[in-house]
Structures are given as structure tokens and as C-alpha cells.
Amino acid sequence: MTDTPLHTPAPQPVDADQPWWRTLIAFRRNVIATWPPAAYDARVRVGGFLGRRWLLLNDPDGIRRVLIDNPDNYRRTRATVRILRPIIGRGLFLSDGEDWRRQRRTLAPAFAPRVVPVLARHVATVAADAVARLAGRAGAPVDLYAEMQRVALEIAARSMFSLEMDRDGALLRDRLTRYAQHLGRPYLLDLLLPTAIPTWHDVARWVFKLRWMRLIDRVMARRAAAPALESVEPRDLFDLLVAARDPAGGAAFTRAQLRDQLATLLVAGHETTAVALFWSLYLLARAPAEQQRLADEAAGCALTPERAFDALARLPYARAVVSEALRLYPPAFTIVREAIADDRAGDVVIPARTVVMIAPWVLHRHRALWREPERFDPTRFLPDAPPPERFAYLPFGAGPRVCIGAQFALTEATLTLAALVKAFRITLAPGPPVTPVAIVTTRPDHAPSFRLEKR
């Protein structure tokens, strides 16, 4: 570790006693700024907003109750559905009940451990291309946030479609960015009205959805038109999902269902991995000793497409850096559920319609759960370190609805980070500090300039 603690930037919290309308404005601008300092010490915080009771749960037993023991009693909030359905449709993330169980059963084989070597080959190919492209910009200011968005989207496209994104990549990134900046923010009526009553913003989201899903359809059509291979082995997730059948009934996905699953995986896999890589690089640029340790580890690994999967076992520090970045800057910064019926989590009463928030951003920085929680310390996640307390670390959620692509995301981020740090010494160019902004994911408030020096 560095000789002095490396404390990580966070937004200035708002006043807990401010009027509701100021809280709503702060919520739209940056969700994580709405949690006051007391939240990082409290086991449970109870409050009200616009006539609704809410709970912020930091208690492991309470979290277990909501996510593990009684998950069917908790559903997505209407604001979540309004905001996310236009970009991910009716795929796994927003489904409930028996529909969710059917989708999960059907998708599970496509994310089994046996598929990881296929993904690792795609990751290594894209990472090598990124290193070659960035080598030509060594010494010049580089926007690594935009580069990581490009890399993550290219990996998603190749692992899902075996396609390069030269044709559609810029348009996909632009539409996702614009949505997050505008329609992806919650508005007052999103919180008040039932989903059956549309708002003006819902109309704009509907227009976006038509264009967005048309773009996904175009990418699917390109992939479907690609020549078939003689090999019987699947080449990507598209092959796996086309062949997927519900083990309980044998039904395949319809084209619309397949499109929604691919949209879900593209949005979730691309955006969350891009921000995880950005924050990993940002933290390493501010911690030269940790960066050098990772470079020394990666120097002994062959990160070629043929050997990338085998290299994963030899990159424990790279994976620890990613895990620590996910702790400090979890892409999924909050898990929000609405209680369907009355419940109790330990000694906490949860009446029906209560909004329950389990916030990885708060949990991961909670002073009762972590030693020096604001400090960047990858050694927390090395194989010989004591594991974090159960339900204190939830970058991918927990329980039946844990992220189905968690291992894919860790594989992608670990291999890409190792390839970049193996090739370059990465520093930050002079500029203002970066503050995280949480809207759809935990993004930087601006894209800082980095400088890359060939090792």
C-alpha cells in the first residue's frame, strides 16, 4: 500500500433537514449526495418522502430478510420500471414472479463457468486492440473514460454477437449517454404516478425506446446474417441464447424476448464494466505503488486470446483492485424495492408499500462494517485476506436476483485492467478532482485527462 492513506473523493452530502423539493432536485442530480453522514453509522434509517415511508437498511440481518429469505415480497418501484424499461425492455432485470423464474432458468446455462473461456478470448482480443490504439497516443492527454466505454462496448459486442462495433458503436454509446443524462433521471411524476398513467417524460422515453430497440434489431440482423461456422461450439452469447430452452418447459425465446435479453445484457454489461474500469484506472493513477504491484504481476502473464483464461488465476492483485474499485464506486449504487405486504426484518417493521433501499454505496463505506472505509486498499480482497462480512459487500446484489453476469464482469475488468497496466504507466494530468455522480450508474462528474507512458 501507499505510505499515506489514499482517501477517495465523494460528493458533499446535502442537508438532511432541507425541504422535500430540494431533496428531489439533489436526487435528480446525484443520488449518493442525498445520504447524510449519519447514514454511514446507522444500522437503519427511517424517513418519509412525498407521503411514502422509506427505509435505508445497513443491517446484515435485515438485508438478508429482503434479498434472501423473503424476496417475493419485494418488487421494483414504479420509478425504476419507468426509467429502465425503455432501454432494457422486459428482460430478466425487470421481470417478476414466474416470468422471472422462467427467464432465469433459460438464461442460466449461457452464463455457466464453462462459457468463461469463450468470453476471455473476446476480452483479450479487444484489450490488445485497445493497447495498440492507445500506444499511438502515449504522452498525450487521453480521455480514458471514453476509451473504457468504447472497450466495454466492443467486448460486449464481440462476446454477444462476434461483431466489431465500428459501424454502430458510436451511435450506441451516444444514445446510452444521452439517455442517462436526461431521461434516465427521476422526475417528480415518476415517483407519484402509477406506471399505467404516462407522463410527458414517458412519451419521450417511448420515442427513445422505438429508436433504441430498432438499433438493437439492426445489430441482431447483422449477426444473424453472419456465415455459420462448421464448429458445433457456440461462438458467442447470441448462439447460446438462440439455442436456450427453458428446462421446465422447453420453450425458446421469441425474437422480441431475445432482443430484450440482449438489450439488458448490452446496457448492464457495457455501462457497469466501463465505469468499473474507469474507477480502477483512476484509483491506480493516484496510487503509484499499487499500480506498480499490478504491473509486476501482469508482466509474468501471457494475455493473448489463447492464454487469457489461464492467466486469470495468476492475476489475484488485478482482481483485488477491481473488487476494491467496485467497493468504493459500485456501479449499481442502490437496490430499491417496494414491500408488497407487511414484513419484519429483525426488529425493523416494514409496512406494505414501504420503499426499502439497500445502498451498496453506503454499505461499502459504512464505518461499522469496514476498516478505514474511505481508503483505497486492494489487499482487502486478496485470497488470504479475511472476507468481508456477509451482506456488507454487494456490488452485484445478493440472493436469487444476484447479477447473472457477475463472473463475466469480473473476468472482463480483470483481464482488461491487467493488459492496460502491463503496457502503460498511467498518471493523471493536472485538473480538478473527480467526483462520482450516481444517476443510472456511478459515473465521474467529468472525464479527467490521463497520460500514458509505455513501460
Query: Could you identify the residue written with the cell 427453458?
Result: 246
Tell me, what CATH number does 359's domain have?
1.10.630.10
Q: Is position 200 within any domain?
A: yes
Q: Residue 119 domain-assigned?
A: yes
Q: Is 7 inside any structural domain?
A: no
Q: What pLDDT does 5 receive?
A: 45
One digit per residue, the tens of pLDDT, for the chain of length 455 reads 343 346 666 776 666 666 655 666 666 778 888 888 888 999 998 877 666 788 999 988 899 999 999 999 999 988 888 988 999 888 888 888 888 888 888 888 888 888 888 889 999 999 999 999 999 888 889 999 999 998 998 888 888 887 766 677 778 888 888 888 788 888 878 877 888 888 899 999 999 999 999 989 988 888 888 776 656 567 778 888 888 888 887 788 888 988 998 888 888 877 889 999 999 999 999 999 999 999 999 998 999 999 999 999 999 999 999 999 999 999 999 999 999 999 998 788 999 999 999 999 999 999 999 999 999 999 999 999 999 988 999 999 998 888 888 999 999 999 999 999 999 999 999 888 899 988 888 999 999 999 999 98
Predicted TM-score (pTM) of this structure: 0.90
**Total domains present in the chain:** 1
Residue 242 inside a domain? The answer is: yes
Distance CA 232, CA 164 (A): 22
Residue 11 DSSP one-character state: P
**Residue 49: inside a domain, yes or no?**
yes
Q: What is the pLDDT of residue 4?
A: 39
What is the length of the chain? 455
Would you state the pLDDT for residue 22? 65
The C-alpha atoms of residue 346 and residue 59 are separated, in whole angstroms, by 9
Residue 157 lies in a domain: yes
Rounded Cα distance, 341 and 72, in Å: 10
Domain ranges, residue 361: 20-454
**Residue 52 maps to a domain:** yes
Show Cβ contacts of residue 346 under 8 Å, excluding neighbours closer than 6 positions: 59, 61, 62, 65
Q: Is residue 14 part of a domain?
A: no
Distance of CA 262 to the CA centre of its chain: 16
Q: Are 8 and 372 in contact (CB under 8 A)?
A: no
- Please give the C-alpha separations between residue 154 and each of 232, 233, 318, 365, in angstroms, as whole numbers: 24, 22, 21, 32
User: Rounded to an integer, what distance in angstroms lies between the CA atom of residue 209 and that of residue 88?
Assistant: 9
Buried b (16+ CB within 10 A) or exposed e, 224-240: eeeeeeeeeebbbbbbb
Helices (H), 245-398: 255-285, 288-299, 308-311, 316-328, 360-363
Q: What residues are paired with 356 via a beta bridge?
A: 55, 337
pLDDT, residue 441, reads 87
